[in-house]
């Protein structure tokens, strides 16, 4: 018997417990509902690269679903003063963000000429309408009421978005955590109308400065602040890669959803979610 045959026999013996009869048991594909998942890439054109376009956006939506799952769980953990658990969840969000950013590298392999072959098939459908992206913005505190109109077609979805629109964001509950720790926070910030866009506040700035100047005393809050900075940092990197990928593929054309395209994406780069945490870098 050759060495190769001996190795193969040992390998076969070692794996003799592998299950092969699934007549009465659930399979991997059934658990993940792969029949549904892998049959959801319906091209509207015959162009080869439309498959790439669909898969990239579907994968991104799956990652966004997990971002929302973890962010909303982190919000609940912070509400109940369980900051260590929130750190785990927020750290996971940052890792997910690093994955979703890399999706743009794959999409950017498509050239302008290739995209124009099927772009008209999209009609007015656009990533601008991604409701999960809007839920992420709401969860992070960027609230824009006029955007809700896009989703009036689906009353159930509109209800979910409206609820998130009025709910406290990740930053709102973090500010409440500062107040619970005894730091002097303006009461109007703790009990504000959460549907309003957040605006920087001096009491919040001073509270974060106290945390960062007394790390040992406020270690958990310091950790929370850094987790928030991580998330905003990655989000802005995602937005930048989005903007550059769009510019690379369609230049400054108007988006399929009617937005100004690259010009709109450049403007959102100026949006800030946790302003005091960035400003203190200069003051510390």
* Residue numbering of the annotated binding site for substrate: 53-57, 115, 119, 256
260 touches 129 (CB < 8 A): no
Distance CA 45, CA 101 (A): 27
Binding residues: 53-57, 115, 119, 242, 256
103 touches 60 (CB < 8 A): yes
- Provide CB contacts within 8 A for 144, sequence distance 6+: 137, 197
Residue 158: CA atoms inside 13 Å, Cβ hemisphere, count? 11
207 touches 184 (CB < 8 A): yes
**What are the start-end ranges of the E strands in the chain?**
none
Binding residues for heme: 242
Q: Is the dihedral of CA 143, 69, 273, 134 positive or negative?
A: negative
């Amino acid at each position: 018997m050759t060495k190769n045959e001996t190795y193969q026999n040992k390998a076969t013996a070692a794996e003799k417990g592998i299950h092969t009869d699934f007549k009465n048991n659930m399979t991997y594909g059934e658990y993940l509902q792969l029949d549904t998942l892998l049959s959801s890439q319906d091209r509207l054109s015959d162009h080869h690269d439309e498959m790439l376009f669909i898969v990239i956006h579907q994968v991104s939506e799956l990652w966004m679903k997990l971002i929302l799952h973890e962010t909303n769980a982190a919000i609940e953990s912070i509400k109940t003063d369980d900051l260590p658990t929130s750190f785990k969840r927020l750290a996971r969000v940052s890792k997910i963000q690093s994955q979703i950013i890399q999706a743009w590298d794959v999409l950017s392999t498509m050239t302008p000429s290739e995209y124009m072959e099927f772009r008209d098939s999209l009609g007015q459908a656009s990533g601008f309408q991604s409701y999960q992206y809007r839920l992420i913005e709401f969860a992070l505190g960027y609230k824009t009421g006029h955007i809700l109109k896009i989703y009036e077609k689906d009353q159930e979805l509109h209800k979910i978005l409206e609820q998130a629109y009025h709910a406290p964001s990740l930053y709102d509950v973090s500010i409440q955590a500062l107040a619970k720790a005894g730091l002097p926070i303006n009461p109007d910030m703790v009990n504000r109308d959460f549907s309003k866009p957040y605006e920087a506040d001096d009491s919040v700035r001073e509270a974060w400065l106290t945390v960062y100047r007394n790390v040992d005393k406020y270690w958990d809050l310091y950790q929370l602040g850094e987790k928030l900075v991580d998330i905003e940092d990655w989000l802005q990197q995602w937005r930048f890669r989005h903007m550059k990928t769009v510019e690379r593929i369609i230049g400054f054309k108007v988006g399929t959803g009617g937005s100004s395209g690259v010009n709109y994406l450049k403007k959102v780069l100026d949006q800030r979610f946790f302003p005091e945490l960035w400003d203190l870098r200069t003051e510390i």
